[in-house]
Amino acid sequence: MLRALEAMVAQKRDYYEVLGVSRGASPDEIKSAYRKAALQFHPDRNKEAGAEERFKEAAEAYEVLSDPEKRARYDRHGHAGLEGVGVHDFGGMNVEDIFSIFGDLFGDAFGGRMRRRADRGIDIQTAIEIDLREVVTGVEKTLRFERLDFCERCGGQGAEPGSRRRACSTCGGYGQVEQQTQMGFFVTRQVVDCPRCDGRGAIVEKPCRTCDGQGRQRRERVVQVKVPAGVHDGQSIRLRGEGEPSASGSARGDLRCVIRVKDHPFFQRDGDHLICVLPVSFTQAALGGQIDVPTLTDPAPIRIAPGTQHGTTIRLPGKGLPNMRTGRRGDQIIQVLVEIPRRLTREQEELLRRFAATEDRSVMPESKGFFDRVREYFSGEGKT
């Protein structure tokens, strides 16, 4: 066993030699050398015997030399030092799998191949409406929506069951072609979806009669969405893979559920706090008393102190909304609104006039101070 392992290690070429760099090469030099080797030996460009093996050999060398820890082990102990450290077996992988690992180095170097590998589905969006009580507890909603989905009859293939799909001869099955445009002396090239197969890479001999060969149809979908406690209006919940499939059918997009919190008849939200405006009569404000105010659960009694002023706030701890991170609930803040009657009966007007005649400014410090300052100002005492 040991001799077999030693023999296998001995057959491998030096990784620095494979990439054609020195042992002191920088990471950028190693990356550049690998890209050059991969482009040179890729089977789509190089049809010589052994090109694919050289391509995989370069990929293995790059995986080791681009990783500082693996490179340090290799520099100290050679190939034997990499046993058990998780180096890919590129010899057993196809070229597409290797591109999925190192694809960011190549861009569009191989036509649409990389773009098709990175092809993802289409995201869709819907709204979920909840009320403030559900914000307190969190809620699970049943969501029904329509999305473009794989055809039930053909399974997304676009072909009648039993019929075949053959590779498109125009794009060679890649789904994309290179388009050349010439303007005077300038020539531009760009990769576009194949016009013959619409980017699918295959031609359907007998289109599916349900979807007309599109492979897609609108279908209703039902999912359960868990809305966390403390969520805010406008926040969204993303359900992975519940969107629509990509053009190639390789992946689904996501479903983005935007939360809409319904207006409440009594409360305005301020972060985790709830603001409630409480109208009281001027006699209640002057004499004080006990009033039941609404909360999100039950009415709560509060005491209005005698002489309560317009705009005074009363705080009910823990009667607000939970914080999404901590779970701690905010407060309910009562803002007192002293209402002045717009119309008075003769009896009420007479009583108020009699009351006004007995008013003592000393018990109204704010108004007393204000009018004292006005008198001082116009008498010249407050002028400079």
Please give the pLDDT value at position 254: 92
- Show the tokens assigned to 326: 């901590």
Q: What are the pLDDT tens digits along the chain (384 aa)? A: 444 444 444 467 899 999 999 999 998 899 888 888 888 887 767 778 888 888 888 888 888 898 888 888 888 888 877 775 656 666 656 665 566 556 556 554 554 444 444 467 889 999 999 999 999 999 999 999 999 888 888 877 778 887 877 778 887 777 777 777 777 667 677 778 888 777 777 787 788 888 887 788 888 999 999 999 999 999 999 999 899 887 666 678 899 999 999 999 999 999 999 999 999 998 999 999 999 999 998 899 999 999 999 999 999 999 999 999 999 999 999 999 999 888 999 999 999 899 888 876 555 556 656 667 777 777 766 555
Angle of helix 51-65 versus helix 68-77 axis, rounded to 10: 100
The residue to which tokens 């004292």 are assigned = 372
Please give the pLDDT value at position 195: 81
Cα→Cα distances 332→224, 234, 261, 268, Å: 31, 22, 18, 10
Extents of the domains making up the chain: 2-106, 267-339, 346-379
Reference 289, options 272, 302, 274; nearest CA is 302
Q: How far apart are CA 96 and CA 250, in angstroms?
A: 14
- Amino acid identity for residue 192 in this structure: V
Please give the pLDDT value at position 106: 57
Please give the pLDDT value at position 292: 93
Task: Judge contact between 293 and 273, C-beta under 8 A.
Answer: no
Query: For the domain 2-106, what is the CATH code?
Result: 1.10.287.110
267-339 sits in which CATH class?
mainly beta
